[in-house]
Structure 1
Amino acid sequence: MNTKEGLLFSDALLKEIKSRFHYVDHDMNGRERLFFDNAGGSFRLKSAVDQFARIDALPDCPERIHELAIFLQDVQARGTEDLRTILNAKGGSVYASLTASGGMFDMVRAIAEHIPGTNIVTTVLEHPSSFDAMTLYAERTGKALRVAKSNPVTGGIDVQDIVSLVDADTAVLSVIYASNISGAKLDIQEVVRQARAIKPDLYIVVDAVQHAPHGLIDLQATPVDGINIAPYKFFGCRGSGMSWLSERASVLPHHKLAGKKKDFWDLGSAAPWQFAVVSEIVNYVCWLGSQSVTPNDRRALFASGIHSIELHERALLSRMLNGSASTPGLRQMKNVKVFLDYEDLTKRDLILAIGIENLEHAQAVREYERRGVIVYERVATSLYSKRMLHSFGLEGAVRVSPLHCHSVADIDKFLQITHEISRAFNSTEVGGVR
């Protein structure tokens, strides 16, 4: 089967998928809309929101011996194992924090402050939570910060541009799994292989927040020392970040209560709902996986589910770019520019950066909203965008990020609205400018 252009869910399955999420086709006020800003969050699973409320409503402390305390301990244990299921992680420690950004700062600090070396390496496409953490601890420890440049053709970072900065004196390498502007996926497996060929005991940290909902992560194939995800970008709830640390990274000095084990990272009382939400995410993806494979172990079902998400999203990406006989794609629209448009869709997650001639990006976002579409402007005046955009030679873009819950009809509606906006602001009747 040729899946380079993706493979759509059946209509019946997509209908069932949509029914499991809140607000896919309408906002909270009942108004029809297309929510294409899932890179800034994601649709919420109804079951995840329900479990959040159910578990957090309990007054019981899990550090007790009575029945409901033991129930909460089991919730945490299942959620811990389910994070390992997402990552295919063996051993090490799971760390629940308020945000994925907080988890990243903590992991970078522990490694940078306690692993000898003269330099640390990262990339220009990192989220500020990892780039700023690396910058801060490079300054505090007197290490040189080395930054790999982006590739404006692929929208990502070439492996060689990363590993060429690694040497025997590199203390830590921090890389993002996929760009949150272009959707380009980095070849993490090859980065790890080549970097460790240069320095076998190199510590490597990965920001998987953007990529986790869109493709499979396998720490057995990419053995790193720290990795984080954000459940709110993965069909879950805000107020939680989940990280995993390798056995050697987990015992590095870090903030913890003196009486806890050396590899324990949580501070204060746990919030069991964080773990319950992770389990609901895994339950859902495993349910998707069961549509195409015979039930086996939980990781196999999860891998099957994520693969089906990846293929459906790739088909949606192809439709947005190439359109159909009845609906022109973004590539065919005269006054629309697809930035960082790399042909090989197997190397991209479902994120697009576009521009419309004669229309400033923030204004374009408002024009989309007027027509019932939510997208997001990435502009160089934003601390979350400037460094990445400038690395590509851009001052801004409109970021478009649907999710696997969307249908071909949703994509076609977006394309028709984009065509309408581009014509409205590039009409010859008004001299090309409105």
Structure 2
Amino acid sequence: MSSILIKSATIVNEGKIVVSDVFVKNGIIEQIGPNLSHPADKEINAEGLHLFPGCIDDQVHFREPGLTHKADIFTESRAAIAGGITSFMEMPNTVPNTLTQELLADKYAIAARTSAANYSFFMGAGNDNLEEVLKTDPHNVCGIKVFMGSSTGNMLVDNEKTLEGIFSQAPILVATHCEDEATIRANAERFKEQYGDNLSPEMHPLIRNAEACFISSSFAVGLAKKYDTRLHILHISTAIETSLFDNTLPLNKKRITAEACIHHLWFSDADYAEKGNWIKWNPAVKTAADREAIFQAVLDDRIDIIATDHAPHTIEEKSQTYSKAPSGGPLVQHALIAMLEFYKRGKISLEKIAEKMAHSPAICFQVDKRGFVREGYWADLVLVDLNKPYVVSRENVLSKCGWSPFEGEVFGSTVISTIVSGNLVYENGQLKDGIYGKRLAFNR
């Protein structure tokens, strides 16, 4: 589609809400203003709808290659678009782990053929691939991922010399999963001695506790300060960790940034009794006090980005006993409408949602010409009806795994249309086939 004219949209962008028209041509936002009359291939009447910049999710696990019985780039990118996420950054703990430049290139090739959304992939760091990590191109790769906590295969980086090498030499942003493995193992042994095989999901935040998170996060912050590393700590899950981050600098000047995920903003340990393994994540969902502290840190800009850590597993896998059930769950389809529910409850503004889910990821990762509704930028746009309820059920879940931790939830808002790089890919519940996103570029 070469041109789209969006009429009378309520645009949420850069701290303001205004009613205006938007004209898109050849993938780019060509003009924003009232009463535009350009001839267009497609005209959308957006009266009464809110137009957001497309969300940029800086942490997803789309499971391809090697784990495609759970998910793949095709299915999960479509679920993301249905949820208003137009760009994603995917993690390296696939099979094989993305520990070489060749394996990284393979993932980009898959996405070029199959991804409905715009895409980027993290280069993975292991204990013995520093040379490969340092070859990463800052201009077309989002960052380097370091698991400072248990993960798949050889992706736990627990060698201090290796960590020093990564933090001192990394050519681009280093994103970390921070949980102290020694603390978690000691806690797990203690619980097994006491309860044997009768461990339950309620014990998950006690085994993977706040201490494990803070030990690792504070260690990462210390390394980053020592080497002036561009550090981004993912999925903050505790109140104590929020003390590690600063809100006195503008985002584009920060060297250390942080992310909060939807599940840590929505659920608490009180929900394990009902949800069980369906809300088992690493790091664990913790107390209501932790949840409120994370939310406050989002509002006061100590935490910079809201993302999903979308990590599907099959229903069969999640239905196992606590000890056997894997951690993670699908969230891309419902992340934006979950945040809009918080808006309806008076907890966050629309402008702040646009900031944390679109503007800030673009600034944090220095994404080229995305994340804003601006003339000359790529047209990644989402139209939302704030007054149209949406009920989550297994029948309307688009992730390949076929379930959601939000099943039964009645959200007050619905994603109506999603435009990716100027293409209308999703409209009124229908995804269009044969349209693919673009590889993200970075101004570094």
Q: TM-score, normalised by structure 2?
A: 0.23
More helix as a share of residues: 1
More strand as a share of residues: 2
Larger-Rg structure: 1
Q: TM-score, normalised by structure 1?
A: 0.23
